[in-house]
């Protein structure tokens, strides 16, 4: 009977407080979703990157949930001041433990706001390169030419030397020619190949010319521009078409030659 009386006493004393606290927290959860949706709709009309919008919406939701959680605990009769002090001390420890994560977040915000690169551009840094497919708060994801993904923590990117190719790249082809070949005729044929190829950009214009003279060959540089997505394909297609065009017009490729002198000692 004593135990039952004790339970009844606690139920009467704290039951209503628990119901009120649960109601306050439930209302806070609903309010966080509602306000989060409104914030999302409002930010979509602004010129903000998707990760920034996502972060701001999450911050709004977390603030509302924490605020209503404190009110619910106070309605339940929990002392708030010691709890806040304890959360502050715990927050310092958590912050020290999550230094890497927080540095990634700060670096991600720096990347998002300064925009050294955007989704769809080709970049090279830290010995890797690829097309930017995702910029998140914590990391940047690149798509490599072999369709593998390279995930780089944002803190590794900020402060490093970054090569941003943009959305187009310049091909660097080298065409060897025989010394007996007509260079002007060969360059004219290469220009025709570039002009007829649908994925070679006309602006900026391609550059070409003789870059070196060897003992048995002349090296011609051919450097057209193409879109990032066509870079690998266009390289192979141009090499093939230039080879076929040279064969069709009798333009000679170099053949290694070696002179041997025989000395008759007799």
Provide the pLDDT confidence category of residue 3 given band limits of 50, 70 and 90.
low
Are 142 and 131 in contact, with CB atoms under 8 Å apart? yes
Kindly give, in sequence order, each residue whose CB lies less than 8 Å from that of residue 161, ignoring residues fewer than 6 positions away.
Answer: 125
Provide the pLDDT confidence category of residue 221 given band limits of 50, 70 and 90.
very high
Provide the pLDDT confidence category of residue 120 given band limits of 50, 70 and 90.
confident
Per-residue pLDDT for 85 more than 70? no
Q: Is residue 255, in this structure, part of any structural domain at all?
A: no
Least confident stretch, 36-45, 184-193, 246-255:
36-45
Three-class SS of 177-233: ECCCCCHHHHHHHHHHHHHHCCCCCCCCCCEEEEEEECCCCEEEEEECEEEHHHHHH
Same domain (yes/no): 161, 189: no
Q: Is residue 103, in this structure, part of any structural domain at all?
A: no
Q: Is residue 260, in this structure, part of any structural domain at all?
A: no
Are 137 and 51 in contact, with CB atoms under 8 Å apart? yes
Per-residue pLDDT for 105 more than 60? yes
Q: Is residue 257, in this structure, part of any structural domain at all?
A: no
- What pLDDT does residue 179 have? 84
Q: What is the mean pLDDT of residues 42-52?
A: 68
Same domain (yes/no): 162, 197: no
- CATH number at 66 reads 1.10.287.1260
State how many domains the chain has.
3
Rg (CA), the chain: 34
- CATH number at 175 reads 3.30.70.100
- What pLDDT does residue 93 have? 56
Full domain range(s) for residue 62: 2-97
Are 35 and 61 in contact, with CB atoms under 8 Å apart? yes
Q: Which CA distances in Å does 48 have to 38, 113, 154?
A: 16, 9, 19
């Amino acid at each position: 009977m004593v135990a039952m009386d004790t339970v009844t006493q606690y139920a009467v004393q704290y039951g209503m407080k628990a119901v009120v606290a649960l109601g306050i927290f439930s209302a806070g959860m609903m309010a966080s979703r509602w306000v989060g949706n409104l914030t999302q709709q409002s930010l979509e009309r602004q010129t903000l990157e998707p990760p920034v919008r996502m972060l701001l919406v999450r911050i709004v939701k977390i603030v509302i949930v924490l605020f209503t959680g404190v009110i619910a605990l106070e309605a339940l009769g929990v002392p708030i001041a010691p709890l806040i002090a304890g959360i502050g001390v715990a927050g310092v420890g958590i912050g020290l433990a999550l230094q890497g994560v927080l540095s990634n977040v700060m670096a991600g915000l720096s990347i998002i706001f300064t925009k050294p690169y955007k989704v769809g551009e080709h970049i090279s840094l830290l010995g890797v390169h690829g097309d930017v497919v995702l910029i998140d708060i914590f990391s940047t994801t690149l798509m490599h030419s072999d369709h593998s993904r390279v995930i780089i923590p944002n803190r590794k990117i900020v402060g490093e030397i970054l090569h941003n190719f943009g959305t187009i790249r310049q091909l660097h082809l080298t065409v060897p020619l025989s010394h007996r070949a007509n260079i002007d005729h060969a360059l004219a044929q290469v220009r025709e190949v570039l002009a007829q190829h649908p994925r070679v950009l006309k602006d900026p214009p391609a550059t070409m010319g003789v870059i070196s003279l060897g003992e048995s060959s002349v090296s011609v540089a051919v450097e057209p521009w193409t879109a990032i997505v066509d870079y690998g394909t266009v390289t192979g297609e141009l090499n093939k078409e230039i080879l076929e065009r040279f064969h069709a017009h009798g333009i000679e490729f170099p053949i290694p030659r070696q002179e041997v002198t025989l000395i008759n000692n007799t």
